[in-house]
């Protein structure tokens, strides 16, 4: 059975776009993952630990035969493959892959929480996510992403559209 999931990617070291392309290529190369949609790239001011370079962030939609924990194993292996070194919480990184959503599942394991617990506070996640899937519904806000982003609830500052996705993979712009 195939499940729908959304992943957030970010990089803020050296050639940020190249790292993201490598990560998406690695997802595409995996036999149990199909990349369905890829957002544009956004340049974003660092959140949390602010004394570091700007990030490039993006979101991809996948379908996968992997269960959530297997998917986490794969995303963590890709982080290492693309070159992630040990870092500190919120610190700089070659590439970071977070699982945002997996179907409608709520998961509360030590090593995996889905929906990603901080996603609704992060414009650098919500803005690219809304680009590829504006109808996603936040049970916390009782609004769709589209509604949430046209309102005042989310501070959109510090997130700038940077460029279209130039790597391989489905680039599908939704009509909105
Ligand atoms: N939905 C999720 N996606 C990815 N990792 C998760 C998720 N939920 C929990 N984790 C756990 O988070 C751990 C730490 O992740 P990481 O070092 O990337 O944190 P971070 O990127 O600094 O902060 P943040 O999690 O706020 O983005 C991972 O080892 C993983 O087990
Ligand atoms: N703009 C931005 N800030 C961050 C990011 C990120 O991807 N983009 N990731 C972090 C740790 O996961 C901490 N802060």
Of 76, 77, 62, 75, residue with least CA distance to 2: 62
For the question of residue 93 being annotated catalytic, the response is yes
pLDDT (0 to 100) of residue 175: 47
Between 147 and 169, where is the model more confident?
A: 147
pLDDT (0 to 100) of residue 83: 87
Which residue's C-alpha comes closest to atom 2 of ligand 2? 46
Contact 123, 158 (CB under 8 A): yes
Pocket of ligand 1 contains residue 31 by CB under 6 Å: no
For the question of residue 146 being annotated catalytic, the response is no
The Cα 116–Cα 106 span in angstroms is: 9
pLDDT (0 to 100) of residue 176: 44
Rounded mean pLDDT, 23-40 = 97
Percentage of the chain beyond pLDDT 70 is 95
Percentage of the chain beyond pLDDT 90 is 77
pLDDT of 169 above 90: no
The Cα 25–Cα 166 span in angstroms is: 12
Q: State both tokens at 102.
A: 């997996």
Pocket of ligand 1 contains residue 79 by CB under 6 Å: no
pLDDT (0 to 100) of residue 172: 52
Pocket of ligand 2 contains residue 44 by CB under 6 Å: yes
Q: What is the pLDDT of residues 87-132, one digit of tens each?
A: 777 777 899 999 999 999 999 999 999 999 999 999 999 999 999 9
CATH superfamily of 3-163: 7,8-Dihydro-6-hydroxymethylpterin-pyrophosphokinase HPPK (3.30.70.560)
Element (H, E) at 17: helix 16-29
pLDDT of 28 above 80: yes
Structural domain boundaries in the chain:
3-163
H helix runs in 83-171, sequence order? 123-132, 145-150
H helix runs in the chain, sequence order? 16-29, 68-82, 123-132, 145-150
Mean pLDDT, the chain, rounded, equals 92
């Amino acid at each position: 059975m195939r499940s729908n999931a959304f992943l957030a990617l970010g990089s803020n070291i050296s050639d940020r776009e190249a790292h993201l392309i490598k990560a998406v290529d690695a997802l595409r190369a995996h036999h149990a993952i199909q990349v369905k949609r890829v957002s544009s790239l956004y340049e974003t001011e660092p959140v949390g630990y602010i004394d570091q370079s700007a990030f490039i962030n993006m979101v991809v939609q996948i379908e996968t035969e992997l269960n959530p924990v297997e998917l986490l194993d794969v995303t963590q292996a890709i982080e290492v493959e693309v070159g992630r070194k040990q870092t500190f919480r919120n610190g700089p990184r070659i590439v970071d892959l977070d699982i945002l959503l997996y179907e409608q599942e709520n998961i509360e394991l030590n090593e995996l929480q889905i929906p990603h617990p901080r996603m609704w506070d992060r414009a650098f996640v919500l803005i690219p996510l809304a680009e590829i899937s504006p109808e996603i519904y936040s049970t916390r806000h009782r609004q769709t992403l589209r509604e949430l982003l046209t309102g005042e609830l989310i501070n959109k500052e510090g997130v700038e559209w940077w460029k279209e996705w130039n790597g391989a993979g489905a680039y599908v712009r939704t009509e909105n």
